[in-house]
């Protein structure tokens, strides 16, 4: 059976490796899961007890999550930027750490002898790891090839609706005021009294005071 060729390295995506602590287990979790959790909490450094990865979808309309667990791997899509913004907000608050890494394509076979979150993410990114590599060790390793994140999200467009509406209203009021003044000036020129009939705005006279026909 012929398999399709692997995608070229040129489209290898930029992944964001996220280092954090896993969610607490529920009270009814299996005994072996709770035992494993206690061991990991005792051996691993706080803030580096779990690692997962995410990247922007090629269509740019959402994010892909790669989250390895002890029993399975979750591969999920999230529409929009809400999920990613939450992750980066957590990182900004110091509750997790994020490293941007471009995937590599090793030339030779890389054996993975353990089914851990570290080995799964390392295999995803194409970086070496050992069965005893901890999330903290992987974090320090990825820092050496970290890619500048720059602006992960496009800067939000400023909301100028209110300012635009106010500017339009001011322009319309100024035009209406000018039209009234021009009408009054035409009336004065037609022989009305010399008293100024120019309209005033809220701050003072809107036009140049002109007195015509004063005796």
pLDDT by residue for the chain (215 residues), tens only, comes to 454 554 554 455 789 999 999 888 788 888 888 888 888 888 889 899 999 999 998 777 899 999 998 888 999 999 989 999 999 999 999 999 999 998 888 877 777 888 889 999 999 999 988 889 999 999 999 998 877 665 555 444 455 667 777 888 888 888 888 888 888 888 777 765 555 555 555 545 445 444 444 44
Same domain, 22 and 96: yes
Residue 204 main-chain phi, psi, to 5 deg? 150, -170
Q: Which two tokens stand for residue 9?
A: 């390295």
pLDDT at 192: 57
pLDDT at 153: 55
Residue 70: give the domain boundaries: 10-143
Same domain, 202 and 138: no
Same domain, 37 and 103: yes
156 falls within a domain: no
C-alpha span between 182 and 201 (Å, rounded) = 15
Same domain, 24 and 93: yes
As for how many domains the chain has, the answer is: 2
Helix (H/G/I), strand (E/B), else coil: 3: coil
Inter-residue contact 95 to 20 (CB < 8 Å): yes
C-alpha span between 136 and 111 (Å, rounded) = 21
Inter-residue contact 36 to 49 (CB < 8 Å): no
pLDDT at 89: 92
Alpha helix positions (H), 8-73: 31-43
């Amino acid at each position: 059976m012929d398999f399709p060729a692997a995608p070229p390295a040129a489209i290898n995506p930029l992944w964001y490796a996220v280092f954090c602590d896993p969610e607490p287990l529920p009270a009814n979790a299996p005994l072996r899961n709770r035992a494993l959790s206690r061991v990991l909490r005792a051996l691993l450094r706080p803030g580096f007890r779990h690692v997962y990865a995410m990247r922007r979808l090629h269509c740019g309309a959402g994010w892909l999550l790669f989250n390895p667990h002890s029993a399975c791997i979750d591969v999920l899509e999230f529409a929009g930027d809400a999920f990613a913004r939450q992750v980066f907000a957590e990182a900004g608050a110091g509750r997790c750490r994020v490293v941007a890494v471009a995937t590599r394509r090793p030339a030779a076979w890389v054996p993975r002898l353990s089914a851990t979150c570290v080995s799964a993410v390392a295999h995803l990114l194409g970086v070496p790891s050992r069965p005893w590599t901890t999330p903290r060790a992987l974090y320090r390793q990825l820092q050496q090839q970290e890619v500048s994140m720059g602006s992960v999200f496009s800067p939000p467009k400023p909301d100028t609706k209110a300012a635009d509406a106010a500017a339009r209203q001011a322009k319309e009021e100024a035009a209406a005021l000018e039209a009234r003044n021009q009408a009054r000036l035409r009336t004065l020129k037609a022989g009305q009294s010399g008293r100024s009939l120019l309209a005033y705005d809220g701050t003072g006279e809107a036009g140049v005071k002109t007195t015509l026909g004063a005796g």
